[in-house]
């Protein structure tokens, strides 16, 4: 990823950090401040899940809940909290990466805990939009099924069949590409000076059928 950024003519600063550890998060933000002197945009994209069928309630352990919520929800809060002073100085923006699973109760989602964490992230987006106003805007994107290495690895040999089946449920006739999600994030950052506390579904129309 850093090489891709640099190939585009920009400077990259790779930092290893665990969003479950506040010290790691604060050190990451401090590294950004030390190198660049400012922070304009925070994208909260760290996420994880455990794949447990919705109807298998006993299969979803307390430990799974704790880990999913700690990364997907509290991790985003830790990053926003640590970045808030720099973002306030620059009148910056935050974009949280939620999911259509946080909007619709889709049994094809990885687990109830994942869906709940992404719904809570939408609520956190609204709360942070109030807490960080008026200098910092906070929005979210909620992608549907997206073509990522994560999904390819999970479905393995059945991935192509899964994509074909899913694509038939989207009015636009295909699943999302990472570029679709990136474009939505850029739009919220660059073209929405009066937009805050909102969640943009990047779902090819899946949520309206």
Do 175 and 155 meet the contact criterion of CB atoms below 8 Å apart?
no
Do 53 and 110 meet the contact criterion of CB atoms below 8 Å apart?
no
pLDDT digits (tens, 9 = 90+) for 69-120: 999 999 999 999 999 999 999 999 999 999 999 999 988 899 999 999 999 9
pTM equals 0.95
Q: How confident is the model at residue 191 (pLDDT cuts 50, 70, 90)?
A: confident
Interaxial angle between packed helices 112-131 and 62-69, expressed in degrees from 0 to 180 and rounded to the nearest 10: 30
- Find tokens 């447990």 and name the residue: 52
DSSP code at position 138: E
Token representation of residue 76: 């985003």
Residue 192 above 80 pLDDT? Answer: no
What are the two backbone dihedrals, phi and then psi, of residue 54, each rounded to the nearest 5 degrees? Answer: -50, -40
Q: Sign of dihedral through CA atoms 32, 89, 191, 72?
A: positive
pLDDT digits (tens, 9 = 90+) for 119-156: 999 999 999 999 999 999 999 999 999 999 989 999 99
Q: How confident is the model at residue 6 (pLDDT cuts 50, 70, 90)?
A: confident
- Residues with catalytic annotation? 114
What are the two backbone dihedrals, phi and then psi, of residue 47, each rounded to the nearest 5 degrees? Answer: -160, 155
Nearest to 121 by CA among 135, 101, 137, 136: 101
Q: How many CB atoms lie within 10 A of CB 107?
A: 9
Q: How far apart are CA 188 and CA 180, in angstroms?
A: 13
Do 202 and 187 meet the contact criterion of CB atoms below 8 Å apart?
no
Q: How confident is the model at residue 198 (pLDDT cuts 50, 70, 90)?
A: very high
């Amino acid at each position: 990823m850093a090489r891709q950024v640099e190939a585009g003519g920009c400077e990259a600063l790779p930092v290893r950090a665990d969003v479950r550890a506040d010290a790691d998060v604060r050190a990451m933000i401090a590294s950004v401040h030390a190198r660049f002197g400012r922070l304009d945009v925070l994208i909260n994209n760290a996420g994880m899940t455990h794949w447990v069928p919705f109807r298998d309630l006993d299969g979803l352990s307390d430990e799974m809940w704790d880990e999913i919520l700690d990364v997907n929800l509290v991790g985003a809060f830790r990053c926003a909290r640590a970045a808030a002073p720099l973002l306030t100085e620059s009148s910056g923006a935050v974009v949280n990466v939620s999911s259509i699973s946080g909007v619709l109760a889709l049994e094809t989602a990885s687990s109830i805990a994942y869906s709940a964490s992404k719904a809570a992230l939408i609520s956190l987006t609204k709360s942070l939009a109030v807490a960080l106003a008026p200098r910092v805007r906070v929005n979210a994107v909620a992608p549907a099924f997206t073509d990522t290495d994560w999904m390819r690895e999970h479905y393995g040999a059945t991935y192509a069949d899964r994509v074909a089946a899913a694509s038939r449920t989207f009015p636009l006739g295909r699943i999302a590409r990472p570029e679709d999600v990136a474009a939505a994030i850029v739009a919220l950052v660059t073209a929405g000076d009066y937009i805050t506390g909102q969640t943009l579904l990047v779902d090819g129309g899946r949520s309206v059928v």
